[in-house]
A = this chain, B = another copy of it.
Amino acid sequence: MFDEILCRIVDETKGGIGAVLMGYDGIAVEQYFLPREEFDLQLVAVEYANILKEVRKTAEILRSGETEEVSIRTEKFYVIIRTVGDEYFVVMTLERDGNYGKARYLLTREVPQLILALA
């Protein structure tokens, strides 16, 4: 169920590498990723979970309202972290030249399905 949704997000995005559904406790609920030798998606997810926690804390200090999405572009990758309700989030990774806009659209489309599936 979760894996089908994550699979759709990754496979329908040009340059999609993988996606992990995680809790803020750092434990992955489900993950889907294309085989890549040099890439430890689990490690990526845990590291970015820490960033999301920092961002949430900052948003609280600044009274910016709930954090919905964090996108990070590096020389090699795009990482999109999207909150899924209050306790979970998805970390999606794609190639630097992948379709960032499509990935964001697919996350917007699929997050309600994830929330339903988690309920």
Binding site for B on A (CB under 8 A): 40, 43-44, 47-48, 50-51, 54-55, 58-59, 61-62, 64-77, 79
A70 is contacted by which of B61, B71, B77 (Cβ under 8 Å)? Answer: B71
> Bound state CA distance, A74 and B61, in angstroms?
13
If over half of A's interface residues share one DSSP class (helix, strand or loop), that class is named, otherwise mixed; here it is: mixed
A84 to chain B minimum Cβ distance, whole angstroms, is: 14
Whether the Cβ atoms of A73 and B77 lie closer than 8 Å is no
Q: Residue on B with the closest CB to A75?
A: B65
Whether the Cβ atoms of B68 and A71 lie closer than 8 Å is no
Top 6 nearest A-B pairs by Cβ distance?
A65-B75, A64-B74, A71-B71, A69-B73, A65-B76, A47-B58
> Bound state CA distance, A58 and B91, in angstroms?
14
